Structure 1
Amino acid sequence: MRVVAKFGGTSLGSGDRINRAADSIAAAVEDGHEIAVVASAMGSTTDDLLDEITFEADEADQAQIVSMGERTSVRMLKAALSARGVDACFLEPGSDDWPVVTDEYGEVDVEETRKRALEVAADLEGVVPVITGFLAEGPDGSITTLGRGGSDTTAVMLGKYMEADEVVIVTDVEGVMTGDPNVVEGARNVGEISVDELRNLSFRGAEVVAPSALSYKDGDLDVRVVHYQHGDLLTGGTSIEGQFENLVDMREEPLACLTVAGRAIRNQPGVFQSLSAALGDHDVNIDAVASGMDTVTFYVDDEEAEFAENILHRQVIEQDALSSVTVDSPLAVVRVTGGELPNRPGIISEIVNPIENARINIHDLITSATSVAIFVDWDDREQTLEITQDLF
């Protein structure tokens, strides 16, 4: 099996941990697997170096300075592997076999990186390459970086381009947890999670795998997260399933928009819960929710609009904080889901402006970490879908 194993800063944070990492790599090689290693800077080296740049330094100089963390890690880990009789080499920008290159705009040069990655992969049967994460090489040979979480990006990208069977992210957590074990009781490991779920969690603060890395995951590449104390690269942890694709989708059935108004509704604890619970208790499915300072809006199946209106009206009568409920229908929703949406400044205007230029009224716009939902009149659905598909 061909595996790309990425070791995070914590898993390389001391000599003992480097020894532990080397032991796990050596064991996998002994079992006959082809292993490529991506190494982050030891511990908090990168942050420490950045903190010490208290002077004016251009981007090129900063990249050179922060690259020293990864450069040290690969040398340490290569030496530890050699001490175990494993034939290893380290690769960094400037090396003859260095794989990750960027174009003049600082974006990964996909074709060149894929070609170089396959050349590195061709030698995996005889040698273990230890590759600096986070770093790339510009078209002029300069050092560039892949941004925050860049070592994760390096690993998953190389896993894809090297045609690996699996990418293993070795870190300081037991895979993906049901909650933060430092905050909640009884947090446990999640054996499997989808790319969609994890990317949404990652953009909302879950520091497990960098969101940018998951953009490179396809359905043929397994990605797994394991704790550095686990010791076995090939078992345990959390498996990340599926792939994240750009997608434009339109709901086939019409929706109704039910808006409940109330005085300072956001400052009334339990109001939202009571409204959604009332709909749920009567088996009314909520497709989406939006809120304002004095309103809460529920989108439900249009055929259930009258039933849902009566349910919410009873809540309005019972709660002094609520004033009225109204219904607007039929509406359509077009959803844009894509791995790169959160990383594209101005993406909302890119979506909205062409729809506005077509004189289509947008009733509502709801965004999440990785998707945008556009609500329009039912009669405008086909044109909205066509405009949005043209964009993506």
Structure 2
Amino acid sequence: MRVVVKFGGTSVADGDRINRAADSIAAAVEAGHEVAVVVSAMGSTTDTLIDEMKFDASEEDRAEIVSMGERTSVRMLKGALEARGIDASFLEPGRADWPIITDEYGEVDVEETRGRAEQCAARMRDGVVPVITGFLAQDHDGTITTLGRGGSDTTAVMLGNYMDADEVVIVTDVEGVMTGDPDVVEGARNVGEITVDELRNLSFRGAEVVAPSALAYKTDGLTVRVVHYQHDDLLAGGTSISGEFQNLIDLHERELVCLTAAGRAVRNQPGILATLSSALGEEGINIQTVSSGMDSITFYVDADNAERAEALMHEEVVADETLSSITREEEIAVVRVTGNDVQSQTDAIQQVLAPLAEERIYLYDVVTSATSVAVFVPWEDREETLDCLQGVL
């Protein structure tokens, strides 16, 4: 099996942890696996280097300086592997065999990087363990560039993809993906498997497990796992991330209605949303989407459930003095644009809305998440909306 293993900063924070990492790599190699290693800077080295730049550094100088953390890590780990009889070599920007190349826009040159990654994989077949600096890249002129926040994760999954690896293992200081933050909630436990879509949404909203930019490179056939650095077996345990993130434009096939409950400052009234959604849920009515304003909450449900849903919500409106009235609007369609880079594209919502404005398509609502934009339009305009949004993002 071909494996790319990424060790985060805490996993190689000192000599003892570097030795531990080397032991786990050596065990995998001795078991007959091809292994490539991506390494972050030791501990908080990168933060320290950044904090100590008490001057206005150019982008080129800044990248050179912060690269020293990863450059040190690969030499340390390569030396630890050699001490265990493992044939290893370190790769960093500036070397002829460096794999990750960016273009003049700072984006990864996919064709060049893929070709170099394949050459690296060929060396792995010969028994060499490449130890690669994470986070860093190099442009065609030889200038050091970086892959941004979470860049070491991105390095690992990208190379796993381009090397045709079987698995990428992210070694970090957490027990994989947890049901909640163990520092905040009691009884948090490890999630054995999670989809890439679920994890990307969690990552964009604060879960520091795998960088969202890295998951863009995950394919359906490439397994990604997250394990704790104290879990010495690289090939078992932790959380497995399944699936492949895809860019999709999806038209919900059934007509929707929107039910809006109005009340004074309902957003500041605890329990209102729970009361209304529970009333629908207890009767088996699925809620497609919820949106809210300061003085209203809107539920989108399938038109088949319209009358029953309105009656149930009306009962709650009458029973709760905070709420004043409920109204229903019919013949609504929803089109969802799910994109790999929605969160990172500052104009993502504009890209979705602009073509609809040009065609004078009325918008009932726009609901966004970390990875999608949903537009609610008249049912009669659904096909035109779908056509307008082809190719956005």
Q: TM-score, normalised by structure 2?
A: 0.99
Q: 2:110: which partner in 1?
A: 110
- Residues 40-97 of structure 1 show CA distances to partners (whole Å, capped at 9, x for unaligned) of 0000111111111121111111100100000000000000001101010100001110
Q: Name the CA distance, whole Å, in 2 between partners of 1:117 and 1:391.
A: 30
State the AA in 1 paired with 2:146.
Answer: T
- Aligned residue-pair number: 392
In the alignment, structure 1 residue 120 sits paired with structure 2 residue 126: no
Q: Name the CA distance, whole Å, in 2 between partners of 1:38 and 1:391.
A: 34
Q: 1:44: which partner in 2?
A: 44
Q: Name the CA distance, whole Å, in 1 between partners of 2:100 and 2:349.
A: 31
Q: 1:101: which partner in 2?
A: 101
- Residues 77-122 of structure 1 show CA distances to partners (whole Å, capped at 9, x for unaligned) of 0000011010101000011100000000000000000000000000
Gaps of 5+ in 1: none
- Residues 220-279 of structure 1 show CA distances to partners (whole Å, capped at 9, x for unaligned) of 100000000000110000000000010100000000000000000011111111011111
Q: 1:366: which partner in 2?
A: 367
RMSD across aligned positions (CA):
0.7
Q: 2:63: which partner in 1?
A: 63
Q: Name the CA distance, whole Å, in 2 between partners of 1:370 and 1:212.
A: 12
State the AA in 2 paired with 1:282.
Answer: E
Q: 1:251: which partner in 2?
A: 252
Gaps of 5+ in 2: none
Q: 2:132: which partner in 1?
A: 131
DSSP-derived class of the 1:66 partner: helix
Q: 1:354: which partner in 2?
A: 355
Taking the TM superposition and a 5 Å limit, the aligned residue runs for 1:204-353 are 204-353=205-354
Q: TM-score, normalised by structure 1?
A: 0.99
**1:283 shift after superposition:** 1.1
DSSP-derived class of the 2:154 partner: helix
Q: Name the CA distance, whole Å, in 2 between partners of 1:146 and 1:35.
A: 22
Q: Name the CA distance, whole Å, in 2 between partners of 1:52 and 1:376.
A: 53
**1:341 shift after superposition:** 1.2
DSSP-derived class of the 2:290 partner: strand
State the AA in 2 paired with 1:91.
Answer: L
State the AA in 2 paired with 1:290.
Answer: S
Q: Name the CA distance, whole Å, in 2 between partners of 1:171 and 1:187.
A: 17
Q: Name the CA distance, whole Å, in 1 between partners of 2:220 and 2:214.
A: 14
DSSP-derived class of the 2:390 partner: helix
In the alignment, structure 1 residue 143 sits paired with structure 2 residue 144: yes
Q: Name the CA distance, whole Å, in 2 between partners of 1:105 and 1:45.
A: 28
State the AA in 2 paired with 1:73.
Answer: S
**1:161 shift after superposition:** 0.1
Q: Name the CA distance, whole Å, in 2 between partners of 1:329 and 1:54.
A: 61
DSSP-derived class of the 1:47 partner: helix
- Residues 176-208 of structure 1 show CA distances to partners (whole Å, capped at 9, x for unaligned) of 001111111111110000000000000000000
Q: Name the CA distance, whole Å, in 2 between partners of 1:187 and 1:349.
A: 39
Q: 2:35: which partner in 1?
A: 35
- Residues 359-391 of structure 1 show CA distances to partners (whole Å, capped at 9, x for unaligned) of 101110000111110100000000000111142
State the AA in 1 paired with 2:334.
Answer: V
Q: 2:192: which partner in 1?
A: 191
Identity among equivalent positions (%) equals: 68
Q: 1:17: which partner in 2?
A: 17
- Residues 5-41 of structure 1 show CA distances to partners (whole Å, capped at 9, x for unaligned) of 0000000001000000000000000011000000000
- Residues 301-342 of structure 1 show CA distances to partners (whole Å, capped at 9, x for unaligned) of 111111111111111111110011001111000001111111
